[in-house]
Structure 1
Amino acid sequence: MVRDDLYITVPSFFRCPISLDVMKSPVSLCTGVTYDRSSIQRWLDNGNNTCPATMQVLHSKEFVPNRTLQRLIQIWSDSVSNSKTDSTESTPSLEQVQDLIKELQSKTKDSNSNKHISESLSKIVTFARESEENSKFLAKMDGFIVTLLQFLGNAGDGACKNIDFLEQVVVVLELVLSKNEDHHQLTNSMLKSDRGCLASLLHVLQQGRTDSRIASVRILETVANDAESELLIAEKDGLLSEMLKLITPENDPALIEAGLTCLIRISITKRVKSKLVHLGTIKTLAKLLSDSSSSVTVTEKALKLLETMSSCKEGRWEICENRASVEAIVQRVLKVSSAATEHAVTILWSVCFLFRDERAQEAVARANGLTKILLLMQSNCSPSVRQMSADLLKIFRVNSKSCLSSYHTKTTHIMPF
């Protein structure tokens, strides 16, 4: 901790048992104790084979990133930073906010006043975050969203590359967009005009902080409300590639979830699906599904996006070509959630039964998929999942040389092997 933070109470489980500092990269040993990565690595590199806290002998020196704790530490750290700001900056009144907005509206083309504009936007963010009513007030205030879009568009045209300024605009815009009901007008303003809004959002995705990157993809999700807008977003050079970088396992779970949600929203048309497949989305999703630390929500969304990819020819071919993809899907058939099960079974049904791809069938068999499908048939699954499972068993009953060939898919009891 830095000296300025000495008077701030730090939760004890945020501290590394070795260094006693707040952990930057918490990892857990096989004993279940969590340490900062650099501290425990030094301990192990010095030839020790025990857990420093429990002194138990380690049967494995591998450690697993504790992403939940890392997220909690990040939230706590952000709250500490915000509390310092809040202690010196009070929430502005309605009248003060109205004056700030009027002042902003007079400076939409003044690229030399970004610092002053950022200060005004910071006060408006404080006001918006205080209550939902405040956000609704801003969303309904005449011309405010248009003003924000002008800032965003002008910056995208090259008038400003100040990332701090862009982040302020994006964060404010996301807060008020969620309370705005006319999304079609927003789409026309942001995507179907000459504005450089997409360029600005791309710049934030490339260089912004986690919170502003999340705000950027949520803005894109909001304005992607028809096929034309989805294509405009997908065809912006570098935008899809940057969004795919958000959904890698090492990123913040909230960022991964936001990225997946937006990708699901814009991947409705065949053209966008094909573009995503060619950018390597299937392999990225397979890595995400193989990560044991992925949350239920992230797993559900990753499978949903894979299901979408499997509805186009290129997507099915890539899934079947990449054995790891099929194995990752089979892994998630059970013990996640009913939604994850339905998405996973739908993908397997599509590639194995509907399109009869032998590579996929072999990969499912090698990944012990048949046992999982049999167990699923006996579970309290939905009628659609049960029917798809029955169809899959028909395929494997024909191909199998084991006693599965005598299994009848209409029975409700699994005969012992």
Structure 2
Amino acid sequence: MPLYQPSNGRKNGGAKLDAGGGAEVLDLETAVKGGVLGGGEAIIGGGCIADKLDLKVLIEELESIDVPSVFICPISLEPMQEAVTLCTGQTYDRSNILKWFSLGHNTCPTTMQELWDDSVTPNKTLNQLIYSWFYQKYLAMKKKFEDVQGRALELLDTLKKVKGQARVQALKDLRQVVSAHASTRKTVTENGGLSLISSLLGPFTSHAVGSEAIGILVNLDLSSELRANLINPAKISLTVDIMNEGTIQTKLNCAKLIGMLLMEGNDSETEIFSSLSLLVGLLRLVRDKRHPTAVVFAGLILLKTICSQESVRSSILRIRAVPQLIELLPCLNNECSEIVLYILEVLSTIPEGRLALKECPNSIPNVVKLLMRVSENSTQFALTILWAIYKLAPEECASQAVEAGLAPKLLLVIQSGCNPVLKQMSAELLKLCSVNYSTSILISKCMLTTTIQ
């Protein structure tokens, strides 16, 4: 269990406790005399509460709640399940203080006073108060849980009856409930919410309805049956249109939904994702400089997933993705740069991809700049891309690469602690580049000192 944080302004001795929910703040003595922190469930003879639940269960259910400091054991910094008091007047959880004694200590852990009496006395008042406080919090949480469950069911029922702006509002309310309360997601799923919301997506769905429906779906676990329902040209086309024109959050939701659908798709389903509208939309998404990094990253991740399917790579090349991604490289952070290099490496595995890389004037300069600058994986992707271009036009590639500063970068790879395979690739590429240059010129390009020359 994580450490509990004592509530602010609550200290041992004359401590004040907040009953929660706007209740009056009481001191310890008043709280005990009044029952349970100023009202609510009363303590019944001997501290028992009707239908009493185990305190350990209550604590586990409320593990993230802010607990008053007087309930926290000074040893474990967790709520006390059985408070006991030492002769020094300090209170601890029984299991923790007994463990302290078993280690050979004969002192009070808080004051470090030597104990003149090693007996421990149950603190019945505090135990009753701890249980009552947690019990009330549990009841409040349970009521809130039931309220949001009921609200989710109410909104699902409303969606079956309304249209127009009322439907948009109901979807927005349901999206907020599902986003804020994980417990409602199961309720929505078990009560036909997935199929209902999916049925709202179609060729004539407004973007207002579609964006809210997609915002709900990305928070839910999609069944294989629902995936089959969502993967059809009309719904994918709608999602792409909404992604192109929606808000930042809507763009993220659309990219996430398409990624969820594609993640488990088979080859026949993948053809749907090779639509030019989707690919163009993704490139537009990642190239728009107004978008924050999170949106660019989501778009690149989806493009990476799509290009892993061989049948889609030709479509990606047809929309001139290579020059667009090459021009994008200098503007990206390291994480996004690595994804773009991966995509370009994948595209270089087919002849059209290698030709597109060769014909793009900035392919070699922009790729060379990233050698040894991002990660070892990125360096491997970059070397593979350069090799692919070199094989198409050795002399032209060697000249451009050396002028772009490839030689010193290759020497860095060779001298680094990189993978031996990368070192070998670098050594061979450096050797091939040197064919077009005299030793003195190549060395000067490497910017080595006169002594080394």
TM-score (norm 1): 0.66
Q: Identify the residue that residue 252 of structure 2 maps to in structure 1.
A: 214
**1:359 alignment partner, one of 396, 413, 437:** 396
Amino acid at match of 1:380: G
Give 1:310 deviation, angstroms.
1.0
Alpha-carbon distance, 1:274 to partner:
1.4
**Matched residue SS, 2:304:** helix
Q: Structure 1: any 5+ residue segments left out of the alignment?
A: 1-89, 407-414
After superposition, residues 170-249 of structure 1 pair within 5 angstroms as 170-176=214-220, 179-180=221-222, 182=223, 184-192=224-232, 196-224=234-262, 225-235=265-275, 237-248=276-287
Q: Distance in 2 between matches of 1:212 and 1:229?
A: 24
In 2 relative to 1, CA 405–367 (structure 1 residues): closer, same or farther, beyond 3 Å?
closer
SS of the aligned residue for 1:416 comes to coil
**AA at the equivalent of 1:167:** S
What are the equivalent positions in structure 2 for 1:327-406 lying under 5 Å apart? 327-352=365-390, 357-403=394-440
Relative to structure 1, is the Cα distance of residues 148 and 358 closer, same or farther in structure 2, using a 3 angstrom cutoff? Answer: farther
Looking at structure 1, the residues matched to 378 and 431 of structure 2 have their Cα atoms a distance apart, in angstroms, of: 23
Counterpart check, 1:320 vs 2:358: yes
Q: Distance in 2 between matches of 1:131 and 1:120?
A: 16
Q: Work out whether residues 322 and 356 of structure 2, in 8 Å CA contact, stay in contact via their aligned partners in 1.
A: yes
Confirm whether residue 281 of structure 1 aligns to residue 318 of structure 2: no
User: Per the alignment, do residues 168 and 298 of structure 1 end up closer, same or farther by CA in structure 2, a change over 3 Å counting?
Assistant: same
Q: Which among 129, 145, 150 is matched to residue 199 of structure 2?
A: 150
Does the 8 Å contact 1:186/1:223 carry over to 2?
no
Out of 166, 170, 190, the residue aligned to residue 210 of structure 2 is: 166
Deviation at 1:229, TM superposition (A): 2.1
Deviation at 1:289, TM superposition (A): 0.7
Q: Compute the displacement of 1:396 (Å).
A: 1.6
SS for the counterpart of 1:389 is helix
Give the counterpart letter for 2:385 in structure 1.
I
Structure with larger Rg: 2
Within 5 A, what are the aligned runs for 1:25-104? Answer: 93-104=148-159
Checking the alignment, whether the CA contact within 8 Å between 1:214 and 1:255 is kept in structure 2 is yes
Q: Assess, with a 3 A threshold, how the Cα gap between structure 1 residues 358 and 98 changes in structure 2: closer, same or farther.
A: farther
2:312 is the counterpart of 1:255: no
Q: Who is 2:8 aligned against?
A: none
CA distance in 1, matches of 2:266, 2:188: 22
Counterpart-to-counterpart distance in 1, 2:334 and 2:288: 14
**Match of 1:164, SS?**
helix
Q: Read off the aligned partner of 1:148 and give its amino acid letter.
A: I
**1:128 aligned residue (162, 178, 183):** 178
Residue 416 of structure 1: aligned partner: 452
Preserved contact between residue 153 and residue 187 of structure 2 (Cα < 8 Å): no
1:268 and 1:378 map into 2 onto residues whose CA distance is: 33
Instruction: Give the residue type in structure 2 aligned to 1:169.
Output: A
**C-alpha RMSD of the superposition:** 2.6
Moved more, 249-258 or 303-312: 249-258
**Aligned-partner Cα distance in 1 for 2:423–2:188:** 46
CA 1:186–1:265 in 2, change beyond 3 Å: closer, same or farther? farther
Identity value in percent: 21
- The 1:357–1:221 alpha-carbon spacing in structure 2 relative to 1, beyond 3 Å, is farther
Unaligned runs of 5+ in 2: 1-143, 444-450
Amino acid at match of 2:173: K
Could you tell me the TM-score, scaled by structure 2's length? Answer: 0.61
Q: Contact (CA 8 Å) 2:152, 2:174: kept in 1 or not?
A: yes
Tell me the equivalent position of 1:15.
Answer: none
For the residues of structure 2 that align with 1:380 and 1:165, how far apart are their CA atoms? 54
Report the count of equivalent residues. Answer: 299
Inter-partner Cα distance in structure 1 for 2:385 and 2:187: 43
Distance in 2 (alpha carbons) for counterparts of 1:118 and 1:93: 19
Question: Compared with structure 1, are the counterparts of its residues 371 and 204 closer, same or farther at alpha carbon in structure 2 (3 Å cutoff)?
Answer: same
Query: Against the structure 1 CA distance between its residues 287 and 97, is the aligned structure 2 distance closer, same or farther, given a 3 Å change threshold?
Result: same
Q: Distance in 2 between matches of 1:369 and 1:134?
A: 56
Instruction: Please state if 1:298 is matched with 2:330.
Output: no
Cα contact 1:248–1:287 (8 A) shared by 2: no
Deviation at 1:264, TM superposition (A): 1.0
Q: 1:202 to 1:383 in 2, by over 3 A?
A: same
Q: Deviations over 1:67-87 (max 9, x none)?
A: xxxxxxxxxxxxxxxxxxxxx
**Equivalent residues of 1:230, 1:267 under 8 A apart:** no
